[in-house]
Amino acid sequence: VFFCCRLVYEKSIRAFVSYVQFYRKHECHLLLNLKDLDFGRLANGFGLLRLPRMPELVNANVSAFIPPKVDLSKLKYREKSVARQRELMQSMREVGKHKNFEKNKPWSKIKYTKLKKKSKFQEKLLQSASAPRSSVQPIVHNQPNNQLADSELHELNEDYRLLKRARKRKVCVLGSHQFEVLFSSLNFGSMISKRV
């Protein structure tokens, strides 16, 4: 059955390799011990015409494997489209490069953009290093009106922390009158008008 199509033979090799690798990587070594596996009989069961090169088969006993007397070069693909595709792949392997492959291009757009940003940054560094230093000081702009002062930010952070602790009931819960007295002293209206 497997003599009729090379595609079936290639799939059987892949199946054999994945089976052996799963057997090796399995965690229950009491049930699936790699040393107890008979690779020769397993290869015959998968219908292999030759054994693949694998690190698991280097020191393994494969004397039970009986290779059939079939010339692999005469084994053809049943479908012509698959045969043409495999011939193209084989010719590309012999040449050593793909038709559309460019050696120096990065493999992804992300890598390309990172390289582009890095080169722009290096160019700016070179320009700033080569440009003469002027004695004119850069203009320092005042703080924008919509930003709060450090003391105001500190007060807001304290209030926020107190509210969080009150929610978790780690601070004694204030009565509604005490709460209003505490937060009316903060004068939120003036802070809001400063931000606008």
In a domain, 145, yes or no: no
In a domain, 65, yes or no: yes
Rg (CA), the chain: 37
| pLDDT tens, residue by residue, 114-161 | 888 888 888 888 887 776 665 555 555 555 555 667 788 888 888 888
Domain range for 188 is: 150-195
In a domain, 56, yes or no: yes
Check: pTM over 0.75? Answer yes or no: no
DSSP string, 7-76: HHHHHHHHHHHHHHHHHHH-S-TTTS-GGG--HHHHHHHHT-SSPPP-GGGSSS--TT-------GGG--
Q: Please count the structural domains in the chain.
A: 2
Residues 74 and 166 placed together within one structural domain of the fold: no
Q: What is the pLDDT of residue 37?
A: 81
In a domain, 49, yes or no: yes
Q: What is the pLDDT of residue 178?
A: 60
